[in-house]
Amino acid sequence: MDKKEQVVSLLKKNTDGLTIIEIARALKISRNTVPVVLAELKGEGKIRVRPIGKAKLHYWKG
C-alpha cells in the first residue's frame, strides 16, 4: 500500500477530519510528505479541506 492509499483509508475511517500533523503521526510518515499527497487528492476532487483557525481539517468526500 503506497502513502496515498494509506492517507485515503485513514481519512475514510476518521469522518471528523484530520490535520496534516495527525495524519503524519498516525501513518508514521514525514510531515512534509502529507501535504503533497493531500494536494494530489484535492486536485482530484476526492477530499475537502475546512480551515479552523490556523489548522486545516481534511475530510474524505465519499
Residue-level pLDDT at 55: 94
Q: Chain-wide mean pLDDT for the chain? A: 96
pLDDT of 19: 97
Question: pLDDT value at position 1?
Answer: 85
Number of domains in the chain: 1
DSSP secondary structure letters along 1-62: --HHHHHHHHHHH-TT-B-HHHHHHHHT--TTHHHHHHHHHHHTT-EEEEEETTEEEEEE--
Q: In this predicted structure, what is the pLDDT of residue 53? A: 95
Which residue ranges of the chain lie beneath pLDDT 70?
none
CATH number for the domain harbouring residue 32: 1.10.10.10
Q: Which residue range forms the structural domain that includes residue 32? A: 3-60
- What pLDDT, on the 0 to 100 scale, is given for residue 62? 74
